[in-house]
Amino acid sequence: MTINREKTLEFKEVMFYLDLSTDFLKKKALVKSLKSFIEGNDKADKGSTYGFVIFRKGKEVFSIYDKEAPFLLEKIEDIWEEREEGASYFENGLYETLAHVFKRSRTNPKINRIIVLSDTPSTQSEDYHTALYNLVLKAKNFSTFIDIIRIGEDKFYEDDVKLKVITSETFGGTLYCNDSKQFSNYLNSLIRSKSEFNMIQSEASKILDDEHIFYEKLATDLISLSPDDKINCILCEQEICPICEAFSDEVHKCYNCNAPYHSCCATEYSIVNNIGLPYIFRCPQCSAILKLDKDFVDMILEEKSESKT
């Protein structure tokens, strides 16, 4: 099944994964460069929010998301001396960041900009990288773009190929900064407006059979109406379904915004406006990911196919 491209997104979150376990880049230079990047990004896109992920000593993850820039910079200043040193948890940090993307995308889709700052190759097993790669393939279907800046004096690193595969899959890039004084220039070169991301047209992505469960778990079933809810379907704006004209077609609603739907209307809408599976779609009112009965949708699709023959 082919993933349909999402509609133009109006908001963007920039998330920094600080995989920095050496002293090659000093705190002062990091914070100054982040501030410069944020100022440039805010000029390109007003209303962007920010987040960051870092590992404390003992492999304890610390993360904040969807915050204003001053709060982000203040937290980085506060936690810097507590960071893990001498080891990279590259895969774990991206797991954490992508988990946030998937969770937030269920109800509030945005352009997800992930910028990884890494100064040490990961020593995690190949299984970790394979699991991460599979998540990255799913994340790019939720407007996720990953860039990586590898910071350090070496010309080559043992994980170069892995980094480039991840960034190329998400329409990002891998940069190499071997002079800490030039770091700000590298970071600022990544400033992009949301219109540039919305213009990126990827080739159609396929949802494999073994990935259906992942998307089904992201979605939520329509729920029963409460006594005070509106009963006119949001799609046809009528109380009785105009497709089947049956009183038995009960109206159900979106769990997030209470938008009401007839089963027939929701099915017709989802067949055309789905996220890659014909029975999973975004609520046109609030963008929550909703799920219909697969067997019912398959039956409607079969009837449509038979009517054409």
Higher-pLDDT residue of 230, 37: 37
Whole-number pLDDT of residue 36 = 97
Kindly state the tokens that stand for 12: 């963007």
Q: How many helices (H) and strands (E) does the chain have?
A: 10, 12
**pLDDT-derived band at 309, boundaries 50, 70, 90:** low
Q: Which two tokens stand for residue 3?
A: 């993933």
In which band, very low, low, confident or very high, does the pLDDT at 1 lie, cut at 50, 70 and 90?
Answer: very low
pLDDT at 194 (0 to 100): 66
The strand pair at 289-291 and 220-221 is best described as: parallel
Fold of 209-308: Herpes Virus-1 (3.30.40)
φ, ψ dihedrals at 307, nearest 5°: -70, -20
Q: Are 97 and 62 in contact (CB under 8 A)?
A: no
- For residue range 147-163, list pLDDT tens digits in order: 999 999 988 899 999 99
Q: CA 198: distance to chain centroid?
A: 14
pLDDT digits (tens, 9 = 90+) for 88-140: 999 999 999 999 999 999 998 899 999 999 999 988 888 888 999 999 999 98
Task: Enumerate residues 6+ apart whose C-beta is below 8 A from 253.
Answer: 222, 223, 224, 225, 229, 259, 260, 261
Predicted pLDDT at 7: 60
pLDDT in tens, 232-242: 999 999 999 99
DSSP-assigned states of every residue in 137-155 = HHHGGGTEEEEEEEESS-S
| pLDDT reported for residue 198 | 64
Least confident of 35-49, 159-173, 178-192, 196-210: 196-210
- pTM (predicted TM-score): 0.84
- pLDDT number for residue 5: 46
pLDDT digits (tens, 9 = 90+) for 190-245: 998 767 776 664 444 567 777 888 999 999 999 999 988 888 999 999 999 999 88
**Domain boundaries of the chain, sorted by first residue:** 12-199, 209-308
Does residue 21 sit in helix, strand or coil?
coil
- At 207 the pLDDT is 73
Residue 64, strand partner residues: 52
Find all residues with CB under 8 Å of 218, minimum gap 6, and list them. 102, 105, 106, 280, 289
Look at residue 192 in the predicted model and tell me its pLDDT: 82
Q: How far is residue 52's CA from residue 79's CA, in Å, rounded to a whole number? A: 11
Nearest CA to 139 out of 56, 246, 38, 211 is that of 211
Place of tokens 């017709």: 268
Rg (CA), the chain: 22
Q: How far apart are the two ends of the chain, measured CA to CA in Å? A: 22
The tens digit of pLDDT for each residue in 245-286 reads 887 778 999 999 999 999 999 999 999 999 889 999 999 999
**DSSP-derived pairing of the beta strands 223-224 and 252-253:** antiparallel
What pLDDT does 247 receive?
A: 73
Helix residue ranges per DSSP H, 106-152:
126-139
Query: What's domain 12-199's architecture?
Result: 3-Layer(aba) Sandwich (3.40)
Do residues 98 and 144 make contact, with C-beta atoms less than 8 angstroms apart? yes
